[in-house]
Amino acid sequence: MWTLTKLYLSCNQIGDAGAQHLGDTLTTLDLSGNKIGAEGAKHLGDTLRHNTTLTTLTLAWNKIGDEGAQHLGDALRNNTTLTTLHLWSTEIGDEGAQHLGDALRNNTTLTTLNLFENRIGAEGAHHLGDALRNNTTLTTLDLYDNRIGDEGAQYLADALRINTTLTTLDLWGNRIGDEGAQHLGDALRNNTTLTTLDLNRNGIGHEGAQHLADALRINKTLTTLNLHDNKIGDEGAQHLGDALRHNTTLTTLNLQLNEIRDEGAQHLGDALRNNTTLTTVELGRNEIGDEGAQHLADALRINMTLTTLDLHENRIEAKGAQHLDNALRKNRVVL
């Protein structure tokens, strides 16, 4: 009787031939970095068609490409046990995304799909967006660094207006810009399930921040918004700050590396005087000085919900530190 349920073989050289002999009795199989190509993906797909135990499959850093994605997609139409599929850095393009999207229309068990660092582009995002209109099980979709652009963001946003199961969407490094942020913001006005949205490094400026802020005034489900490494500046911080006076669900806001100065810190500080749900605000690697630190410190004298405030690599000197220290005597916020 087999007792082993989890097998981790990452960074070996099993190749296509080795992939043929694995997976029948396991629940977790990690084959990342194993020189597996389309043929190996076909063997694994054949296994998935009849397998009734495997729940997590990781094929990261292999070169399965679009053909390999097709084999896996075909298998997912029938598989009823796999819940997590990691395919980051596997050279999948828009054609491969189409095959996976087609599978998602029928699959009823997959909850997490990770396509981190592929090249699906806007067309691939279109295929996945179409699938999300019908899929009722996927909760996490990771499209980090896939060059979907604002057009791809629109396809996904259109799907979010209809989809009622996706809770986490990672679009880090996809160049969606202000226009893409507008599409997503418009979708968030209606979406009632997404809780985490990662828009790190997307070239979003103050206009995009305004669109997202407008959505936050209405949205009642988003709890985490990551805007790290964009260019929202003081004006964008003002838009978000104004929205946070009314929002009652967001708990984590990441605004690191966003060209925010003292004025932006003032707007955010003003928001923190009224906001009662934010627990984490990340403002590291901005250009906040002593004056901005004072505005934030003044807010901390009143705010009783924030537990984490990150101000690393700003321009705060001794005077600003004193303001924060004085505030901490009344508020036990974690810095």
**What average pLDDT score do residues 101-111 get?**
97
Output the pTM of the full model: 0.96
pLDDT digit string, tens, across residues 306-321: 999 999 999 999 999 9
Q: What is the mean pLDDT of residues 43-67?
A: 96
Domains of the chain by range and CATH?
1-147 (3.80.10.10), 169-335 (3.80.10.10)
Q: Tell me the two tokens of residue 242.
A: 């104004």
Residue 335 has pLDDT above 60, yes or no: no
Q: Indicate the SS3 state at residue 35.
A: coil
In this predicted structure, the answer to whether residue 1 has a pLDDT above a threshold of 70 is: no
The pLDDT, as a whole number, for residue 22 is 76
Rounded CA gap, 272 and 290, in Å?
18
* 164-211 per-position pLDDT tens digit: 999 999 999 999 999 999 999 999 999 999 999 999 999 999 999 999
CA distance 129 to 153: 9
The CA–CA distances, whole Å, from 172 to 30, 76, 139, 230 equal 24, 26, 17, 11
Distance CA 311, CA 164 (A): 36
Q: How confident is the model at residue 21 (pLDDT cuts 50, 70, 90)?
A: confident
Q: How many residues does the chain have?
A: 335
Looking at residue 25, its pLDDT comes to 83
